[in-house]
Amino acid sequence: MAGSSYSVFNAMVDIVASPGKAFDEVKQHTAWLWWPLLITILLACGLFMFYYNWVDFEWLVEENIRNIPVERRAESADAARQFMQPGRMMWTTIIAIVVMTVVIYTIQSTYLHLANKITTGADIGYGSWFSFTVWSSFVGVFGTVAAFVLILMADSNQLSSESLAVLSLNSLLVHASPGEPWFRWASSLTLIHFWSIFLMSIGFARWTGADIIKSTVIAVVPWALVFGIWALMV
């Protein structure tokens, strides 16, 4: 067990360097969740505030119109140009980040809370599972930082928002273009998901006493269902 001088900032380092130690500590300090939660949200919002003020917006609008299926392009072009304004796009994205982050974390926490009750019965409340979800997802900041680096190193300011998913399977392996069947699927599944699942597997085992195989299955199931069903629909 870490000493009394252990802080939330130590936990932010250890969630990468020593996950077991971090999970042992954050289990006792549920209120610490606000730090990783706010950092995750603010960094992601900051990325898109920077992006929409940096990108060649006229190019971005026309690029999005080019990605509309040909049969709908003519009728949708004017509406797209009218809707896609820098300020509107920026604030829509920021609101979506905040809302979707809370919604996804709430669903994940509810799932873990129920999975614990059914499989181990450990005395852990819902609030603790929300904290667990926030901490196991905190490594998502590395994806945001990678997007910042991509922008800063870009040769021009003609860069699509999809390109910011530097650690996605599409960027790393699939290389599908917008409009192709696997583009959205591969752009949404990132290395961060696998890292987060790895952390959840370790953390669930530490918190509940379940063996690592059971913990890994519990961590994998929701994401396997989401991306598995999505893949079948592609």
Contact between residue 10 and residue 25 where contact means Cβ atoms under 8 Å apart: yes
Please calculate the CA angle 75-77-82 and round it to the nearest 5 degrees. 120
What whole-number distance in Å separates Cα of residue 216 and Cα of residue 198? 7
List of long-range contacts for 147-152, beta carbons under 8 Å, 24+ apart: 147/47, 147/51, 148/47, 148/50, 151/50, 151/51, 151/54
- What does the radius of gyration of the chain's CA atoms come to, in whole angstroms? 20
- pLDDT score recorded for residue 2: 46
CA gap 175, 50 in Å, rounded: 25
Model confidence pLDDT, tens digit, residues 58-113 = 999 988 888 777 777 777 888 888 888 999 999 999 999 999 999 999 999 999 99
The end-to-end CA distance of the chain, in Å, is 47
Give the C-alpha separation, 66 to 77, whole Å: 9
> What pLDDT score was predicted for residue 63?
87
What average pLDDT does range 22-47 have in this prediction?
Answer: 97
